[in-house]
Amino acid sequence: MGRDDSQSGGNVHSVLFVCTANIFRSVTAEYALKVRLGSHRSCVVSSAGIHVTPQPMHDWVAARLREKGADPTTHVQRQLTGELVEAADLIVAMGRDHQDFIREQFGREAPLFNQVCLGQDKPILDLHEVMPEWAADPEQARAYVWSVMDAIWVTAPAILSRLR
């Protein structure tokens, strides 16, 4: 089913970042790459989630994206579908659960973001995975979210070497 140019070294014309709800990690990677590519991009960059339930992007995420020069007001959550998987040359998973979902549901392998960008077999954990009771300490939670976003923002451009 589908191709896996991430392993074959083929030309990449489209990148799809995948996380859980498509309102934090994958959308940060999407905007980081889009901003780096600018208006002259010949690559389609998008994102989707494996378990999208309608919810707004958290103010922390939107504020940090704006600080970095991205406009998140047009972002609409997307559920990962077979059509999105088939259309993507490179699918990049944020976590192992995303990798498993893509493999089980669509028969396609997706490397982790940190594998593609840093050569590290290490997932990017969601806030609730690191801080199950995050609402009890919103300042620490915001600091974690922003640190993850900053790391993704700095690291995502490493994917440019895979683009045609």
Cβ–Cβ under 8 Å, residues 28 and 62: no
Average pLDDT over residues 12-22: 94
Place of tokens 């089980």: 104
**Domain parsing of the chain, residue ranges:** 5-156
Average pLDDT over residues 29-52: 90
**pTM of this prediction exceeds 0.95:** no
Cβ–Cβ under 8 Å, residues 149 and 107: no
With 60 as the cut, is the pLDDT of residue 142 above it?
yes
> What confidence score (pLDDT) does residue 164 get?
53
Beta strands 44-49; 90-93: pairing state = unpaired
> What confidence score (pLDDT) does residue 6 get?
40
Place of tokens 């980081």: 32
Contacts of 135 (CB under 8 A, 6+ apart): 141
> Higher confidence at residue 74 or residue 19?
19
> What confidence score (pLDDT) does residue 137 get?
97
> What confidence score (pLDDT) does residue 161 get?
80
- Cα(84)–Cα(91) distance, integer angstroms: 9
DSSP string covering 45-77, please?
Answer: EEEEESS--S-PPPHHHHHHHHHTT--GGG---
Measuring CA to CA, how many Å separate 30 from each of 18, 23, 113, 152, 157? 10, 11, 11, 10, 10
Sign of the CA dihedral with 85 first, then 86, 87, and 92 last: positive
With 80 as the cut, is the pLDDT of residue 3 above it?
no
> What confidence score (pLDDT) does residue 40 get?
66
Q: Which fold has domain 5-156?
A: Rossmann fold (3.40.50)
Q: What is the average pLDDT value for the chain, to the nearest integer?
A: 91
pLDDT band at 20 (very low <50, low <70, confident <90, very high): very high
Nearest partner of 30 among 64, 72, 2, 79, judged by Cα: 72
Q: What would the pLDDT profile of 89-125 be if each residue is shown by its tens digit?
A: 999 999 999 999 999 999 999 999 999 999 999 999 9
Percentage of the chain modeled with pLDDT above 90: 80
Percentage of the chain modeled with pLDDT above 70: 91
